[in-house]
Amino acid sequence: MNIRRTTHLLLTAIPRAIHRHGYGIQSPWAYQLVRDVLFEPLPYYAYQEQHLTTPMQQQLFRLRNHYRHQPLVIIHEKGQAAMQHYQQLLPTITQDTILIIEHINDQNYPLWETILSHPHTTVTFDMGHRGMATFHPKRIKQNYLL
């Protein structure tokens, strides 16, 4: 991990801790997503059935369940392969698409910066290890550090 990204993670630790519980998030949609989907503390109905043991797996399962009627695209690749995958997806992204990017804290940080600066990206959630981007044009551009 590079020094710039490490410094960024250290400086954003307090805002992350505050927003992780939904405090300071004014949008009802974003607040509900953070509280009830991204960081739900209670056990979910199918964790044991699906053999989901890590919090990362459980969070991804909750996201898939929550966005079951919308296109959910997950980029698992790292580095240049992830950037190529994103470039291929770019023409097919609609306002309903939810984009999940793994490893944004190290190998995919340049991709995350590209997504944040894209004009069609509206609301993003930076969870430190995983990023989520939405593209709905009626929402105000915002980046939440969770």
Of 65, 55, 53, 64, which Cα lies nearest the Cα of 20? Answer: 55
Lowest model confidence (mean pLDDT) among 2-11, 35-44, 62-71? 2-11
Looking at the predicted structure, is the pLDDT value of residue 12 above 90?
A: no
> Residue 128 in 3-state DSSP?
coil
The string of pLDDT tens digits covering residues 94-108 is 999 999 999 998 899
Looking at the predicted structure, is the pLDDT value of residue 119 above 60?
A: yes
Q: How confident is the model at residue 17 (pLDDT cuts 50, 70, 90)?
A: low
- Tell me how crowded residue 16 is: count the other CB atoms within 10 A of its CB: 15
What mean pLDDT comes out for the span 6-18? 67
> Residue 24 in 3-state DSSP?
coil
What mean pLDDT comes out for the span 112-140? 94
The strand ranges marked E within 1-88 are 72-75
Put the strands of the sheet holding 142-145 in their side by side order.
Answer: 72-75, 98-102, 130-134, 123-126, 142-145
Looking at the predicted structure, is the pLDDT value of residue 1 above 60?
A: no
Of 111, 124, 109, which Cα lies nearest the Cα of 7? Answer: 109
- Tell me the one-letter amino acid at 124: T
What is the model's pTM? 0.83
Of 72, 77, 79, 56, which Cα lies nearest the Cα of 132? Answer: 72
Tokens of 56: 């990362």
User: Given this model, what pLDDT does residue 94 score?
Assistant: 94
Looking at the predicted structure, is the pLDDT value of residue 83 above 70?
A: yes
78-97 as b/e, with b when 16 or more CB fall inside 10 Å?
Answer: eeeebbebbeeeeeebeeeb
- Tell me the one-letter amino acid at 39: F
More confident residue, 100 or 48: 100
Q: How confident is the model at residue 25 (pLDDT cuts 50, 70, 90)?
A: confident
